[in-house]
Structure formats: structure tokens, C-alpha cells
Amino acid sequence: MRNHRVLRAPGGLSLRLDVRAVTVVVLLLLAALAASVVLIGTGDFPIPAGDVVRTLLGDGNAGQEFIVNELRLPRVLVGLLVGASLGLGGALFQAVTRNPLGSPDVLGLGQGATAGALVMIVLFSGSAAQVTLGALVGGLATGLAIYLLAWKRGVHGYRLVLVGIGVSAIVTAVNGYLLTVSDIVDAARALVWMTGSLNGRDWDQVWPLLALCAVLVPLVLANGRGLRMMEMGDDVSNALGVRVERVRALLMVAAVLLVATATAAAGPVGFVSLTAPQLARRLTRSPGPNLLPSLCMGAALLVTADWASQRAFGADQLPVGVVTGVLGGVYLLWLLVAERRAGRI
């Protein structure tokens, strides 16, 4: 039997807590914060973790404050917010599709955002802000196209996955064509963006991500109960008072916004949205969507991968998207083998 606690408040309100899930969330938050402190101290000018903490609290010297607050802190905050957005977006997609492979990586949202960025780079030689806007528009347009093509008196999970795979293949072909017709300078710039990287990120990327998360995360968590009930099937959920299509559409829009904005800020960082929800589920051992654990797992995964890329290959030599792509690819192969052995595919 799972260990749960019920908290009661005045007025008859009560809250049921899963102690193991709460413990996992706390440990993941501590891991993300610890990795962030270590990452801030990593670079050409290393700073001990204690000095990083003192500097963040306003007790560092002028040189440390410039390096920490102006150069490294924005990059780490972008990493935390992008990882959290991808983890939460992946959990939403997997819960709505009821499929562990139903992540934005498989459904083609990353490829759609890449197409938008490539259009701005190749056809318009756009600035960094224009490339970011193009990636955001491309991701949103791809998500809308997948949803509309999968609609038939509602959206079925497997139909959404199949349509997403088809759209992903089409958009990938378009991306290949855009690269072939671009000149060498634009192609090199596009390839750098397509790897997914936190290099050069500053406060201009932090504030939009922070504002979006401040709005969407509470909205998503508030609908978590309805999402969990939807796992029992649409008919049962409707009978229990859940407005299934409304909740599904709302959460899909939130997931697309989270993933598209994260991709616009850091490029298509691969496989975080696929692996974070599954790892969180295995740690909590909970059958539900595990929204908050997935969010925390995504943040911890991305900053840890960025730290590993710098420690293994030197600062700014290996984009974080390469590390997550390699680790995520290995995890995807393991997941496919496990699903096959279980007879689900």
C-alpha cells in the first residue's frame, strides 16, 4: 500500500499527499539547485561552490559578481526553465496520448520549431530575436496542425501519435531542403542552432521563459486531477464530471506553448521531454501523470547534462543538445525493448 497523508484545513478542505512523490520532488529540487551552483562555478575562471553561494547572496567581490550574475547565472536559469518546460510538456503529451513514446520529440514539435527558425535564418537572414520568434511560431503551428489533423470527434492518443510521426517526417524533409538551398554561412549558423545549446544565453531569454512558466505551470497543475481521471477513459471521466475535450485541449495548448518556447530559447534540446517523465514515474512509482516530479526531473537533467558537457569537453565546446541526444537515444532504445518485452508494441 502506498504511503499517503491527508492534510485538512479549516472550512472542510483537504489535501491528499503522496509522501514518496513529495520526497522525490524535494530531492530533485535539491539536486537541480546543487548542480546549478556547481555549473555556475564551472568555466575558464572556476569559482568554488561556497563563493558562488555567497556571491548569489550579495557577498561576493566585484569580479565574482560580474562572472556569476551577468555571465553564468542567466545561462543556468535558462537551463533550469527550459528543462522544466520540456519535462512538464513531455509529461502532458505522454498523459494525453497514454503512450510513453508520445513526447514532443516523437510528435515533431521540435522539428516544427526548427523549421520556423530555419525559415528566418535561410530565407530572411534574421537576427537572433527573429530566429527565436520564428522557432516559436513554427512550434505552435506544428502543434496546431497535429491537433487538427488528429481530430475526429475528439482526439485519440494513438491517432495523435501517428499523425505526429507523419507531420514530423514531412517537417524534417522541409528542414533538409532549407539546409540544401542555403549558403554556407547560413547553413553553418542553422546547424549550430539545431544542436540545442545554452551557450551565450542571457537575461533576454530568462524573462519570457519565467513569465510563461509563472502562468502555465499553476494552470497545468490545477488541471492535474482532471488529467489523472482521464487516464481511466473518456467515458468514465465524463461520468465523473470532467469536461474531457476542454481539459485535453487546454493542456495540449499549454504543452505546445511550453515546448515551443523552450525550443525557441535554447534550440531543439533532444529527449529531455521523453526521458524526464519516465524517470520521474519510476522514482515516484506512481501511475499518475507525475507533473511536478517531471518538471523537477527535466530541470535537474538539463543542468546536469550541461555541467557534464563542460567538464568532459571544456566550456562551450560541446552543446548540451548533443549530450541529451546521446543519453536520450540510449534511453529510447531501452524503452522500446522494454515495451516490446511487455507485449505493448
Q: What is the mean pLDDT of residues 293-298?
A: 94
pTM: predicted TM-score of the whole model, two decimal places: 0.88
| Range of 79-83, 250-254, 326-330 with top mean pLDDT | 79-83
Instruction: Say what percent of the chain tops pLDDT 70.
Output: 88
**Residue 156 pLDDT:** 67
Q: Give the CA diameter of the chain.
A: 67
H or E element, residue 274 = helix 272-284
**Burial 314-338, CB ≥16 within 10 A → b, else e:** eeeebbbbbbbbebbeebbeebeee
Q: What is the mean pLDDT of residues 160-172?
A: 88
Q: Tell me the three cell numbers of residue 328.
A: 536520450
In the predicted structure, residue 173 carries a pLDDT above the cut 70 = yes
Q: Tell me the three cell numbers of residue 338.
A: 522494454
Residue that the C-alpha cell 521531454 belongs to: 273
In the predicted structure, residue 89 carries a pLDDT above the cut 80 = yes
CA distance 249 to 244: 8
Q: Which position has the higher pLDDT, 73 or 191? A: 73
Q: Which position has the higher pLDDT, 278 or 15? A: 278
Q: Tell me the three cell numbers of residue 332.
A: 529510447
**Residue 1 pLDDT:** 43
Q: Are 38 and 79 in contact (CB under 8 A)?
A: no
Instruction: Say what percent of the chain tops pLDDT 90.
Output: 26
Q: Where are the alpha helices (DSSP H) in 7-127?
A: 19-40, 49-56, 62-65, 73-97, 104-107, 109-118
In the predicted structure, residue 223 carries a pLDDT above the cut 60 = yes
CA distance 179 to 183: 8
Q: What is the mean pLDDT of residues 64-93?
A: 92
Mean pLDDT computed over every residue of the chain: 84
260-288: pLDDT as tens digits: 889 888 888 888 998 899 899 989 988 77
In the predicted structure, residue 210 carries a pLDDT above the cut 70 = yes
- Name the 3-class secondary structure at 166: helix
DSSP state, residue 18: E
305-332: pLDDT as tens digits: 998 888 776 555 678 888 888 887 787 7
**Residue 157 pLDDT:** 65
The answer to which of 2-11, 85-94, 134-143 has the lowest mean pLDDT is: 2-11
Other beta carbons within 10 angstroms of residue 169's beta carbon come to 12
16-51: pLDDT as tens digits: 667 888 899 999 999 999 999 999 998 888 889 899
